[in-house]
Structure 1
Amino acid sequence: MRLTTPLRHLICAGIALSTALPLHADPQEVGLTPVAVGPGPFTYDTAEQHGLRVDVLARGLAHGYAFAFLPNGDALIVERGQRLRFLRGATGERPTLAPQPIAGLPDFSKQPHVLPDDVLGIQDVALANDFATSGTLYFTYNRPVALDAKAGRLTVTTIVAKARLRDMRLVEVKDIVVGETVIGAGGSRILVAPDQTLYVSVGALSTGDIQSAQRTDSIYGKVLHVTADGKPAPGNPFVATKGARPEIYSYGHRDPLGIAFDAKGNVLASEHGPMGGDELNRIQPGRNYGWPLFTYGTEYGGSPLPRTPVGPGTEPPLMIWMPAIAPAGITVYSGDKFPAWKGNVFIASARRGEINGTGSLVRVVLDDKLQELRQEMLLGDLHQRFKDVRQGPDGLLYALTDEDESVLLRISPAKPSN
C-alpha cells in the first residue's frame, strides 16, 4: 500500500518543506552558556513523588545516545557514532567506567569526507531476553557506502546487527536488517519484545528523498517489526504488498527517537518533529503517521502554522509539544521505588522551544485511554541535553545526557529538599 496524496497538501496545510533543508537543521545556535554538571548529589522536590536524589554515576562520555542494563547491574553506554562503553556496577554504590571501549564494533572513525550531517556509526543497543545465558545483544549503526560527488555527501545504510558480548568484545557480529543506501540517514532505536521479536524505529531522511517516509519500499521514516534473526515478524501488514519491505510495521514517521512498551503492551514512540510538533504516538500496524505530508510543526526558519496537521488516512498523535521539547529516549515506569509515578511516561528532552541549555526529563501522566492528564519538567536546572532514560533493574530511574562531556545520572527517592 502506498499513499498517493500529492505534495500540494503540504501547501494547503501551510507547510512548504524544502528537500534542500535538513530535517535537523539548526540555522542559528541560540541558548544558554554550556553548563557542566557538578559532583552532586542533587536533591529535588517534585509534584507527586516528593523528594528525589540525583547522583552522577559516570562522566566524560562523548555525546551519550543510549544505554542498556545487563542482568548483573552493569551497563552498556553508546557514545553515538563512536563507541560502546562498559560501566561496571552501574546500579551499585561505586560505578566504574572501563577506560577502553567494547571491541568488535564496525569502525568508521577514519572515514574521509564526513560532514556534520552525515550520521555514521553506532546508534542504539539492546539486550536479547536470554542475554544472561547467551550474551546476545542487538545494535543499530549507519555504515558509509560511498561519496556522492554531486551532493558532496556520503551515502550510508542503516543496519540492525546481532552479536554476542564476550569479555569486553563483540563476537559473531551479523547484519540482520540492511536498509537502502541513501543520503541523510539519521537515528534509530531498538525495542525487544517479550516474544523476542524486535521493534526498530528508523528516522526519515534529512535531505533529498524525504517523501520516502511515505513509501513502503524503504525502511526510512518507519517502525520495523522483525524476528530475532531479522526476518519479517508474523502478521506484519505489508508482507503481501508487492515491492514493499515486509519488515515495515508503521510508516510516515519523522524521527522516532524513543520507543517503549506500556503496562498494557502498547508500543509508544516519541517523535522529533520539525520546529514544534513533537509527538507521542501509539504505534499500530499498517498506520500512516503523516510525515512529511502532515505535521503540527513549522519550518526552522519560520512558516505559518499548519491548517491541516492530521490528514485523511493518517494517525493522530496521542499528544504534541508546542513549543518543541526535542524528545528522544522514553520509558514507562513500572517499578515500586516511586509509587506515585507508576505508569508515568518519561521522555528525555534535549531542549525546549529551540533554546539550547533547556533540556529536561519530561514526566507525562496518561489515563487508561492514553490521554494526557498532566506533565512535569524535571532536572531542568542541570541545563543538559537529555538523550535517554531507562528504568534500572533496581526500580530506579537513570538518565543519559548528550554533551561533549556527557553524564549518566541515577534518580532515587530522598527526603524533600528545602
Structure 2
Amino acid sequence: MSRAALAVLPLALLACGGNAAQPSDTVQASSAESSTAAPFAKTVMTQLDSPWAMTFLPDRRMLVTEKKGQMLLLSADAKQRRTVATLPVDSAGQGGLMDVVLSPDFSTSKRVYFSYSARGDGGTKGVVLARGLLDLQPGGERLRGIEVIFRARPFVEGDGHYSGRIAFSPDGRYLFFTNGERQKFTPAQDKSMTLGKVLRLTPDGKPAHGNPLVAQGFQPEVWSYGHRNLLGLAFDKSGNLWEQEMGPKGGDEVNLILPGRNYGWPNASNGSHYDGRDIPDHRPGDGYEAPKVWWNPVISPGGLMIYSGSMFPQWKGDAFIGGLSSESLVRVHLDGTNASKGDQWPMGARIREVEQGPDGAIWVLEDGGKGSGGRLLRLSAR
C-alpha cells in the first residue's frame, strides 16, 4: 500500500463530489468496442447516504465515508453499522468527507487516514488530510485522537476539484495525496501551490525527503504536477503508481505517475474547455507526460482499484474505475507501465468507489446523486 524511496522507484461535482452537473457530467460514454455483458452477479448489501469511499478492516468489517461527514463502521455482511466519527466538513458542491485508508501498520497502530473539505478564512475552502485511532472496543467503536496533519495550499473560493485521494507506498514509508486545482486552471502549473499536484508525504504529513522538484522552487511536498481533478490513486504489485483524473469536456485520463513529471493541465489535454475553446492535445515532444489511456466522450472517473484477487483471475493486475456520468464500471488492462482500455459495463447508477473485498469480490459504491440510490454493491463471479 505505500511508496518506495526515490532511488528505488520503478521506471466532476458528483463526478467530483457534489450534485450539480458539469458539462462533462452530462455526456454518456460510448465505447461500443469495449462494452460487454457483465460476467458478475450484483448483490445489494445496504443503502447509504451519498457515500464517497470505503476500506476493509482485517476482520472484514468496512469503514465507509459519507459526503455530509459521517464515517461508518459496517459489519462484514453490511447489516449492522455504527457511526465512528462525524467530521466538520464543508459539504457544499463537490465537498464532503472523502477518502479513507488504513495505515500500513493498522493491525498494531489502529491508525486511519482520511480526507475532507474544510472552510478557511474569508470564505475560502480546501482539502485537508487527517488521521485518528480506531477504537474497536465492542459497543464503543469510535475514531479517537483525530488530528489534521496536512492542508492544501492555498485555500481558495469555490466548491470544486478538491480531489483528496490517498495511497501508501508499498513499503509503508510514504503517503501520496492528491490536491485538485480547484477549477482554477493555473494552480496546476504554479510552483508556489500544492494545488493540481500529486504530493509525497511522510505518515506524519510532512514533506518526504528527496522529493524531486524542491530545487526548481516547487512546494517541498510536490511529486508531480499539471493535474486537474485527481479522483483515483493506487499502486500495482510492481510499485508503479497509477492515477486517474477528470478531463474537462472530454479527455478523462489514466496516468502513470512518475517523479517530477508535468502532466500538462491546463496547457495540454485531449479534451476541450466547456465553452468550446480548444486545448492543445498531448503530442510527442510537447514537454508534458501524456496519459496512458484517455476517453472522449468522458466516463467521469470516480475511485480507482487495482485488482489482485482470485475470484476473477482473468483480471488480476488490471485497474477498475467507477464511472459517474457514464454510470459504469470500467476495466483498464495494465501491462507493466503500459495500459489499454478493457471492458465497460453499464451499472445503471453513478459509481463513486471501487474496492476489492477480502475474498476477491469487487465492491462498489453508488454516490447517491441523480437518483443512483447510494447503495453498496458486491460483485461476485457468476
Query: TM-score normalised to the size of structure 1?
Result: 0.77
| Cross-structure match for 2:168 | 192
Question: Secondary structure at 2:155's aligned position in 1?
Answer: strand
Alpha carbons of structure 1 residues 47 and 275: separation in structure 2 relative to 1, 3 Å: closer
Quote how far apart the aligned CAs of 1:187 are: 2.5
Letter in 1 for 2:142: R
Letter in 2 for 1:397: I
Quote how far apart the aligned CAs of 1:229 are: 0.7
Structure 1 alignment gaps of length 5 or more: 1-23, 33-45, 148-153, 353-358
Distance in 2, Cα, partners of 1:333 & 1:28 = 27
CA contact (8 A) 1:80 1:122 kept: yes
> Does residue 1:135 correspond to 2:119, yes or no?
no
Alpha carbons of structure 1 residues 324 and 369: separation in structure 2 relative to 1, 3 Å: same
Distance in 1, Cα, partners of 2:366 & 2:95 = 19
Q: 2:274 aligns with which of 275, 300, 325?
A: 300
C-alpha RMSD over aligned residues: 2.5
| Cross-structure match for 1:413 | 381
| Cross-structure match for 1:289 | 263
- Same amino acid, percent of matched pairs: 37
Distance in 2, Cα, partners of 1:350 & 1:124 = 16
Alpha carbons of structure 1 residues 130 and 369: separation in structure 2 relative to 1, 3 Å: closer
Larger Cα-atom Rg: 1
> Does residue 1:238 correspond to 2:225, yes or no?
no
> Does residue 1:259 correspond to 2:233, yes or no?
yes
Letter in 1 for 2:176: Y
Alpha carbons of structure 1 residues 314 and 31: separation in structure 2 relative to 1, 3 Å: closer
> Does residue 1:203 correspond to 2:163, yes or no?
no
Letter in 2 for 1:141: Y
Structure 2 alignment gaps of length 5 or more: 1-19, 29-34
Quote how far apart the aligned CAs of 1:29 are: 8.0
Alpha carbons of structure 1 residues 28 and 164: separation in structure 2 relative to 1, 3 Å: closer
| Matched pairs, number | 346
| Cross-structure match for 1:77 | 64
| Cross-structure match for 1:36 | none
Alpha carbons of structure 1 residues 395 and 260: separation in structure 2 relative to 1, 3 Å: same
Letter in 2 for 1:174: E
Alpha carbons of structure 1 residues 317 and 108: separation in structure 2 relative to 1, 3 Å: closer
Which stretch of the first structure deviates more once superposed, 395-404 or 287-296?
Answer: 395-404
Distance in 1, Cα, partners of 2:23 & 2:179 = 24
Which stretch of the first structure deviates more once superposed, 198-207 or 275-284?
Answer: 198-207
Distance in 2, Cα, partners of 1:301 & 1:187 = 23
| Cross-structure match for 2:246 | 272
Quote how far apart the aligned CAs of 1:267 are: 0.3
Q: 2:195 aligns with which of 210, 220, 230?
A: 220
> Does residue 1:95 correspond to 2:63, yes or no?
no
> Does residue 1:398 correspond to 2:381, yes or no?
no
Question: Secondary structure at 2:104's aligned position in 1?
Answer: coil
Distance in 1, Cα, partners of 2:24 & 2:377 = 29
> Does residue 1:329 correspond to 2:303, yes or no?
yes
- Once the two structures are superposed, residues 149-197 of structure 1 have per-residue CA deviations (whole angstroms, 9 ceiling, x without a partner) of xxxxx30132111211114322111221122221235221001222221
CA contact (8 A) 1:83 1:101 kept: yes
Q: 1:62 aligns with which of 45, 49, 60?
A: 49
Question: Secondary structure at 1:96's aligned position in 2?
Answer: coil
> Does residue 1:26 correspond to 2:32, yes or no?
no
Quote how far apart the aligned CAs of 1:408 are: 1.0
CA contact (8 A) 2:270 2:282 kept: yes
Distance in 1, Cα, partners of 2:21 & 2:88 = 26
- Once the two structures are superposed, residues 266-293 of structure 1 have per-residue CA deviations (whole angstroms, 9 ceiling, x without a partner) of 0000110001000000001110001111
- Once the two structures are superposed, residues 31-88 of structure 1 have per-residue CA deviations (whole angstroms, 9 ceiling, x without a partner) of 89xxxxxxxxxxxxx969x8422111111x1222111111100001111242112211
- 5 Å-filtered alignment, 1:356-375, equals 359-372=327-340, 374-375=341-342
CA contact (8 A) 2:170 2:239 kept: no
Distance in 2, Cα, partners of 1:259 & 1:398 = 17
| Cross-structure match for 1:53 | 41
Letter in 1 for 2:317: G
Question: Secondary structure at 2:87's aligned position in 1?
Answer: coil
Alpha carbons of structure 1 residues 97 and 391: separation in structure 2 relative to 1, 3 Å: same
Distance in 2, Cα, partners of 1:252 & 1:299 = 16
Query: TM-score normalised to the size of structure 2?
Result: 0.84
CA contact (8 A) 1:107 1:121 kept: no
CA contact (8 A) 1:27 1:301 kept: no
Question: Secondary structure at 1:212's aligned position in 2?
Answer: helix
CA contact (8 A) 1:25 1:300 kept: no
